[in-house]
Amino acid sequence: MAAYIIRRLLLMIPTILGIMTLSFIVVQFAPGGPVERVIAQLQGNDVSATARISGGGGDAGMSAQDQTGRGGPINSKYRGAQGLDPEFITKLEKQFGFDKPPLERFGLMLWNYARFDFGQSYFRDISVIDLIKEKLPVSISLGLWMTLISYGISIPLGIAKAVRDGSRFDVWTSALVVVGYAIPGFLFAVMLIVLFAGGSFLDWFPLRGLWSDQYASMPFWQWVTNPAALLDYAWHITLPVIAMALSAFATTTLLTKNSFLDEIRKQYVVTARAKGLTENRVLYHHVFRNAMLIVIAGFPGAFIGAFFGGSLLIETIFSLDGLGLLGFESVINRDYPVVFATLYIFSLLGLVIGLISDLTYTWVDPRIDFEKREV
């Protein structure tokens, strides 16, 4: 097993390198960029989704009037740069690192990322790693609780549906599961707000944030030992987690049911029953081990999707400032250090969780030996 883990870890290097290379190439050919972004704002033509630059821009914060009318030649390299002082454009390029050739910039980025040095955000007066740490609690809360709740309910429900296949219980729960799957998470989130967060009916839950103001600045070690803070946290996170867990709950339930049905119909189950083993022993000692493999295989993708990507709309609806919203704003605002840093971290974490998933296979079924197969 040690050799397999080492091989997988070594394979992560070319995988990460390929992801970053392709992403860097795409960005080079993508229209717009941080320089054009600043120029557009100076000209009053910024039409991005978030339409803001929150500090850290240096000369980028100078007005269009300060930068125009200096008699400089027209600079046609960037759209909208006509009339701007070429020296100002040069300063912008140097500030954003575009005074270096693309290959040199890419090599420097890889060297820094190998040391987990992600630099500074272009448009925020904060380092990228500190910015990610600032947004991390929201994404951890949404992704972790959504995954735990959806798997904690879906697996027992899927097993119960497989055992009672064709019964009224199976039919009614299937109908509920299908309806839940058909409702988009963001639409269900809006419905929860209308019903329970001060919309047209009840006002039981808060509409924004993870904590009330009195707990927002509390250190983590005090927060986890404070029952009132924990209850306040649960109060705030309930609706967003329910909205996110809806579609994942349906998918995992049906996947578990079908996986168990496939195993229950196999010959070894008939043999085990013929030997006089109890139904619970057959189900949880023999069937469970094999049926859960396919469920475990889908865990890394579900976790990563919920942790980083699937929470964008939920974060927006419930005014939660997490990594999903951060990544979206960074792409729109061409904040490349944040874009590439989050891509690097998400890809690395996804590969690591994939390895953990494989190791979990051996825990569920010790008969699986990755040492005996090629990676």
- pLDDT tens for 226-249 read 888 888 888 888 888 888 887 677
Which pLDDT tens digit goes with each residue over 312-324? 788 888 888 888 7
What is the C-alpha separation between 342 and 336, in angstroms, rounded? 10
Instruction: Say what the pLDDT of residue 243 is.
Output: 84
Helix (H) or strand (E) segment spanning residue 227 = helix 227-264
Helix, strand, or coil (residue 309): helix
- Options 1.20.1250.20, 1.10.10.10, 1.10.3720.10, 3.50.50.60; CATH of 128-372: 1.10.3720.10
Find out whether 355 and 9 touch, Cβ atoms under 8 Å: yes
Domain boundaries for CATH 1.10.3720.10 within the chain: 128-372
Instruction: Say what the pLDDT of residue 65 is.
Output: 43
Find out whether 16 and 348 touch, Cβ atoms under 8 Å: yes
pTM score: 0.72
Q: Could you tell me the CA-to-CA distances from 44 to 40, 48, 52, 57 in Å, in that order?
A: 6, 12, 11, 16
Which pLDDT tens digit goes with each residue over 79-112? 656 666 677 777 877 777 777 888 888 999 999 9
Residues of the chain with pLDDT under 70: 43-85, 199-200, 247, 297-311, 364-375
